[in-house]
């Protein structure tokens, strides 16, 4: 009888993306039983159904396994992910306050809340990423969703550049946001598919996520300078050219979803060879395949359930949603400060956003440098591993976020040099980055196999908050002025800054009372039992 070796592979969970990573267990030959997959219910070896097929899996050094791909291939994939997300995130602010005067002149649109609509509708489109495109990528693979979504994003960008009216322009902006959301929702899962090591995976996701911070900061520069010289339509033509170049890289990326790769492998083996025992090869995903409707039903209802009943998700959604909306409020605030107070041109005022970008890059290096420290902390406190691994940086970032907003608001006066509020944007960018990464990673770690649903809840509320709250910025500035508006935002931020401290103190108790944590514990026990039964069966054979 053919000897079979089985090796357990712990399923990694994504740390930033709204999409979960599907991984399969490795074995030393094709005639193996897949273990430790939290997404598939594999029958035990004693099951009668198991007599009809053999489950294909990756061998330890299988070159088809994305974990075993060469670093050069993974780096090119990371570059593609970064470029694609730059396109998506640049689009959110490309029609910001710097460009609105040109849009207003052509379409005869009055100033006020309508000036924020191009960005708000774009962000509302982002809501579809975590709740629709991410789960679809787990059914059909990462590549089909990314390619289809980005093709439609390119088409919508072209539509915005030739829009004949204000309302058709807004429709194109909504479609741009909708079809620009898959990279933000799916590429996190792509990176998690390729990197096994927890620290390395977290660092690669950190590099990729930097695009989500830098993209919105670079777009106002493009809008301010190009719009002022060539007109607003050329701003979108240049964005379209960038998207077209990026599309070439999206078309050639390989599929990374293990379930999809194994399915193709099983199909290839069935065509190339026949087994002596007459069994056919199947992939693990084929043993418990869900319909698209069932998948979407779960992904729509479970995030809602988490958002209504899980205190960790509720508080994190409030915090993340607010700091995200403050980011887009600051886009409008900067125009009021550097154009309204200091008299700079829209193009020069857009350059000021690059200083926030400098802060976010510094924040990435801080997160990278602090990895060994937080790993040691988490090892000393095993019952609070998720809290000590992720939250210390959020506890530091919260107060700095409050101070930087106050600094910007109180120093933005004609009698104070323009460099003073500008310098304040460096700690603002640092704090925004480290808070964001820490809170997202904490939720992903805390909810394990349910992290995709938890992150979908966060992603949806974040986009809604980012779309709706900035609608009030024009009226708020008119009623309160810059200083008091910043003081109000800083006050709310100060209250919410208590959230990570609360989790450090009581997070383990909050999670212990969670029914999802209980279900997660049961799931892990079930997997351990399955592994034990399989190992016992193989030993007996």
Residue range 402-423, pLDDT digits in tens: 999 999 999 999 999 999 999 9
Res. 529: pLDDT tops 70: no
| CA dihedral for 315, 319, 325, 328, sign (positive or negative) | negative
Q: Which residue has the higher pLDDT, 405 or 509?
A: 405
Q: Which pLDDT score is estimated for 428? A: 93
> What's the pLDDT tens digit per position in 469-487?
888 888 899 899 999 999 9
What's the CA gap between 120 and 111, in Å, rounded? 15
Which residue, 349, 444, 433, 314, is CA-closest to 21?
444
Res. 386: pLDDT tops 80: no
Q: How many CB atoms lie within 10 A of CB 287?
A: 17
Q: Residue 280 falls within a domain, yes or no? A: no
What's the CA gap between 185 and 135, in Å, rounded? 9
Length of the chain in terms of residues written = 541
Q: Residue 356 falls within a domain, yes or no? A: yes
Element housing 81 (H / E): helix 71-93
Choose from 46-55, 233-242, 365-374 the range with maximum mean pLDDT: 233-242
Choose from 51-55, 116-120, 494-498, 506-510 the range with maximum mean pLDDT: 494-498
Residue 93 structural domain = 66-255+293-519
Average pLDDT of span 235-263: 90
Separation in Å, CA 201 to CA 181, 195, 327, 378: 22, 5, 26, 17
Q: Per the structure, how many domains does the chain have?
A: 1
> Mean pLDDT of all residues in the chain?
79
Q: Which pLDDT score is estimated for 146? A: 92
Q: Give the percent of the chain with pLDDT over 90.
A: 28
Which residue, 360, 358, 353, is CA-closest to 335?
353
Q: Which pLDDT score is estimated for 179? A: 94
pTM as predicted: 0.77
Q: Residue 421 falls within a domain, yes or no? A: yes
Choose from 315-329, 385-399, 454-468 the range with maximum mean pLDDT: 315-329
* Burial category of 76 from C-beta neighbours within 10 Å (exposed 0-12, middle 13-18, buried 19 and up): middle
Q: Residue 7 falls within a domain, yes or no? A: no
Q: Residue 288 falls within a domain, yes or no? A: no
- CATH at residue 477: 1.20.1250.20
> What's the pLDDT tens digit per position in 62-96?
888 889 999 999 988 888 988 999 999 998 888 87
Q: Residue 60 falls within a domain, yes or no? A: no
Q: Residue 424 falls within a domain, yes or no? A: yes
* CA–centroid distance for 146 within its chain: 14
Q: Residue 260 falls within a domain, yes or no? A: no
> What's the pLDDT tens digit per position in 87-143?
999 988 888 777 888 898 889 888 777 888 898 999 999 888 778 887 788 778 889
What's the CA gap between 486 and 51, in Å, rounded? 68
């Amino acid at each position: 009888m053919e000897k079979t070796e089985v090796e357990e592979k712990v399923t990694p969970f994504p740390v930033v993306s709204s999409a979960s990573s599907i991984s399969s267990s490795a074995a030393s030959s094709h005639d193996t039983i897949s273990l430790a997959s939290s997404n598939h219910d594999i029958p035990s070896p004693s099951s009668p159904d198991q007599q009809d097929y053999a489950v294909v899996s990756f061998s330890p050094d299988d070159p088809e396994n994305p974990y075993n791909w060469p670093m050069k291939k993974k780096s090119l994939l990371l570059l593609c992910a970064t470029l694609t997300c730059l396109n998506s995130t640049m689009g959110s602010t490309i029609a910001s306050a710097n460009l609105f005067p040109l849009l207003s002149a052509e379409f005869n649109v009055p100033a006020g809340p309508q000036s924020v609509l191009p960005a708000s509708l774009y962000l509302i489109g982002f809501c579809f990423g975590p709740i629709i495109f991410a789960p679809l990528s787990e059914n059909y693979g990462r590549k089909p969703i990314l390619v289809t979504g980005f093709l439609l994003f390119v088409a919508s960008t072209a539509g915005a550049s030739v829009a004949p009216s204000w309302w058709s322009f807004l429709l194109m902006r909504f479609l741009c946001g909708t079809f620009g959301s898959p990279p933000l929702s799916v590429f996190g899962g792509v990176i998690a598919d390729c990197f096994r090591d927890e620290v390395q995976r977290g660092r690669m996701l950190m590099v990729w996520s930097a695009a989500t911070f830098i993209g919105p900061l670079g777009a106002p520069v493009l809008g301010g300078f190009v719009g002022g010289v060539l007109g607003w339509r050329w701003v979108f033509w240049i964005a379209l050219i960038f998207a077209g170049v990026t599309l070439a890289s999206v078309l050639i990326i390989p599929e990374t979803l293990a379930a999809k790769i194994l399915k193709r492998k099983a199909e290839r083996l069935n065509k190339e060879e026949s087994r002596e025992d007459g069994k056919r090869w199947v992939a693990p995903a084929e043993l418990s395949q869900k319909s698209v409707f069932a998948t979407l039903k779960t992904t729509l209802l479970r995030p809602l359930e988490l958002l209504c009943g899980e205190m960790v998700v509720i508080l994190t959604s409030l915090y993340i949603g607010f700091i995200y909306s403050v980011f887009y409020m600051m886009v409008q605030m900067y125009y009021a400060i550097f154009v309204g107070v200091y008299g700079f041109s829209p193009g020069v005022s857009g350059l000021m956003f690059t200083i926030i970008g400098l802060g976010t890059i510094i924040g990435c290096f801080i997160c990278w440098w602090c990895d060994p420290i937080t790993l040691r902390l988490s090892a000393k406190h095993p019952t609070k591993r998720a809290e000590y691994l992720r939250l210390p940086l959020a506890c530091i970032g919260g107060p700095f976020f409050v101070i930087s907003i106050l600094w910007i608001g109180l120093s933005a006066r004609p009698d104070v040099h323009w460099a003073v509020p500008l310098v304040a944007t460096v700690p603002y960018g640092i704090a925004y980055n480290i808070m964001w990464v820490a809170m997202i990673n904490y939720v992903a770690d805390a909810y394990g196999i349910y992290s995709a649903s938890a992150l979908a809840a966060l992603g949806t509320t974040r986009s809604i908050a980012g779309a709706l709250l900035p609608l009030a910025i024009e009226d708020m500035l008119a009623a309160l002025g810059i200083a008091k508006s910043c003081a109000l935002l800083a006050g709310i931020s100060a209250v919410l800054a208590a959230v990570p401290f609360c989790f450090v103190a009581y997070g383990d108790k909050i999670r212990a009372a969670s029914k999802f944590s209980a279900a997660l514990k049961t799931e892990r026990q079930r997997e351990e039992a399955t592994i034990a039964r399989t190992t016992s069966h193989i030993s007996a054979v």
